[in-house]
Chain A
Amino acid sequence: MPPVISVRDLTKTYQVGTHSVHALRSISLDIEQGEFVAVIGPSGSGKSTLMHILGCLDQPTSGQYFLTGRDVSRLSDDEISLVRNQQIGFVFQGFNLLTRTSALENVELPLLYGATDLSAAERRKRAMAALTSVGLESRWDHHTNQLSGGQQQRVAIARALLNNPSILLADEPTGNLDSKTSVEVMEIFQMLQRERGITIVLITHELNVAQYGSRLISFKDGDIVSDTSNADRRHASGELSDMAAMSDVTEGVA
């Protein structure tokens, strides 16, 4: 079985005025099925550019990108759109949900595009199932502004998972969340990796968030500095039950 993501000599150069900025300098990388890869690096290191190319939102200047064995670096816009729809799930820092729209309709969104032509009832059923898997089934009819940041990010995760993508790309998913909610989101990610074998690529500039991943890749100046498996991995579910215990104690004291 080929790696889910296979990148060869990937280069991205932006033209800013007269001089060119090398966002990626000949990156080669393989990510296997079921890995939880955390890409870490300071801002401007090229990790976001990598994520955009991996998510088919942007195309490389040169090099090849094989997604589940297929070269997607030179596809037409329509084909790329279908790849994004069927194979890639996004979770963004700013949630990127449609405003004034219910959670259910947000989750349904990917089903409205792409090749599949489902009935309204079927779409609804699948969207509800996705909402249930992130624990938000009771809030399906809430609009996004009626949901907390953590809940909004869970809606975004449900949406990303809807078409059973090959990879889940998360760009600073905890950037707008407090620490407890961040752990909750990480718990969902780890659960998805553990129970459903979903391949996750997490982009972050915070090492403590990156530590939830099973593999750590650090970036600097458009190049991979290190690529190691994470020896002391953090486990979100354990931390959550500790936190629960802590709050029980403090509440007991008070």
Chain B
Amino acid sequence: MAWRTSWLIAVRSLRRNKLQTALTMLGMTIGVATVLTMISLGSGAQKAIQEQVKAAGMNMLVVTAGNFQARKERPPDDAIEMGALRYADPSNKPRLVMAAFHPEDDPFAVHDHQTARSRLGDSEAGLGSAATLTMADSEAIRKLSGVQYVCGGVHENVHVVSGDTRWFTRIHGDDSTLPEIRRSWKFTAGDFFSERQERNKDQVVVLGTVVATKLFGEANPVGKTISLWKQPFKVIGVVTSSSWMVTPVEGDDQFDAVYIPVTTMHSLLNLSKLNDIAITTQSTGEVTKVENTVTTLLRTRHGIGPDKADDFTVASQAAKALSSGGLRPDVASAVTGNVNGLEKVTLDQIGKTLDKSSRTMSALLASIATVSLIVGGIGIMNIMMLSVTERTREIGIRRAVGARANDILLQFILESVTLSLAGGLLGIVIGVLGAVAISRSVQWSTSVSLPSVALSFGISAAIGIFFGYYPAREASKVAPLTSLRFE
């Protein structure tokens, strides 16, 4: 017998019992909608954690020119103690500051850093100022696997002038990819410069919100012209922080600053160096791996022999965040309290811990949802069982006009599958709407993925078959004669 006909039979009998059909479908709908909403909440939370990790720069590496590692180096035994400083200011408590200097830091000593000497021959081979990184390095890093965005930067101080207003601030020459790396940025007006503007060395500038306020007050600066180094620059955007953790203040490096294409900066100032290269990795777990490949790559490119030190420093943001207290105090203490030796904490560990916890939450949500699906499925079974008894006479009529036992079996299974699929589809619609509504109203992040929709659909079909089979088999076993006698 053709499937089409069986399906027609099933649909016709569902139509005969509209209220029952609707109520049974409702159970299924609620089940599937719950599953979908829960999954989307779970994976939304997972994504949110990933996003926050990325926004906090957990997937970020910064390669800085030069190799000056004050924090990591313990003062050597032969360090000279320069003495104590005493504050006479009565508002400050008198305190003793011990300063230890490395012999190399002696301003009168000859600088003895091997690569710095070979490249620069000067004593300023400090962090960021050595001209050891180039645009070509940044291009090469971009091609490594696991690397998401690369942004080379040159940083200077500058006077920003608009009419009679002047402001002394930081200037960053960057690649157009910078907003991708700075996840917590948002543009109050305009946008960042494009790749094309970068290529063309256009004289365009993006203002940090502090600078914009200083120069233009509340007015929208986009489209206005300011001057840097007596050159006209067109303002194309204003950037501010979207994170509650960071408030733009005077003197900060991100928002009391202006941004211009690195190419423009190079050509105007006749430079070719980069102070640093910011790198983001595609996943938070790969930071350590990428860190190693970047180091290897740069060592090769700079021709540094195996016994020589790097002429650059690769630092990960997470290590900085952990040591400088960028994390919330309770999180930081939880992390440090559980790990022996903070230095041993790798990004992989942090990433994996966060992933694990969000996965635990997803599993919890999914198990709650599964319960509601099972309840929906039992609802279907209940109704189908009831209808087998209730519809004994109908079964008898069908058998009398020639329905085989298998036709009855198929009809009842198709009825329950149709019920659960129709309920499931409705549930998917409601679930998606619910997820959107939740993320709109409570500001929770949700994420409806195609696999989770497919999963819900598959589950509802499976429930229809699973919970429909037993009642259907009972129905098909009813003998034609007994069912006709049944009043």
Contact = CB atoms under 8 A, between A and B. Distances in A.
B402 A86 contact: yes
A110 B402 CA distance: 6
Interface string B1-42: 110010011001000110000000000000000000000000
A149 to B, nearest CB: 16
A105 B12 contact: yes
B449 interface: no
Contact of B400 (A57, A99, A120, A163): A57
Nearest to B9: A112
Interface stretch (A77-85, A204-212, A234-242): A77-85
A247 interface: no
Given A85-B401, A112-B9, 12 more contacts: A78-B405, A81-B402, A82-B402, A84-B401, A85-B403, A90-B400, A94-B487, A96-B484, A101-B16, A113-B1, A113-B402, A113-B403
A99 B17 CA distance: 10
Interface string B385-402: 000000001101111111
A96 B393 contact: yes
A58 interface: yes
27 contacts: A57-B484, A77-B404, A81-B404, A81-B405, A82-B402, A84-B399, A84-B401, A84-B402, A84-B480, A85-B403, A90-B400, A90-B401, A92-B484, A94-B487, A96-B396, A96-B397, A98-B16, A98-B394, A98-B397, A100-B16, A100-B17, A113-B398, A113-B402, A113-B404, A117-B1, A117-B2, A159-B401
A163 B400 CA distance: 13
Contacts of A175: none
A31 interface: no
B2 to A, nearest CB: 5
B403 A52 contact: no
Interface in A186-205: none
Interface string A94-121: 1011111100010001101110010010
Contact of A113 (B401, B480, B487): B401
A97 B481 contact: no
Interface residues of B, number: 26
A92 B403 CA distance: 17
A99 B397 CA distance: 11
B406 interface: yes
Contacts of A52: 481
B348 interface: no
Contacts of B9: 112
A86 B404 CA distance: 13
B407 interface: yes
Contact of B397 (A97, A100, A117, A120): A97
Which label, helix, strand, loop or mixed, suits the secondary structure of the B interface? helix
Indicate the size class of the contact surface on chain A: 20 to 34
Interface in B171-230: none
Interface string B468-487: 00000000000011001001
A81 B399 CA distance: 7
Contacts of B481: 52, 57-58
Given A96-B393, A100-B17, A84 B12 contact: no
A112 B484 CA distance: 19
A7 B30 CA distance: 58
Interface in A152-206: 159, 163
Interface in B348-403: 393-394, 396-403
Interface string A112-150: 111001001000000000000000000000000000000
A96 B400 contact: yes
B16 A99 contact: yes
A92 B487 CA distance: 13
Interface in B143-167: none
Interface string B95-132: 00000000000000000000000000000000000000
Contacts of A159: 401
Interface centre among A52, A112, A120 (most CB of B within 10 A): A112
B221 to A, nearest CB: 70
A82 B400 CA distance: 10
A90 B400 CA distance: 8
A101 B402 contact: no
Nearest to B2: A117
Nearest to B404: A81
A123 to B, nearest CB: 9
A78 B399 CA distance: 10
A82 B404 CA distance: 8
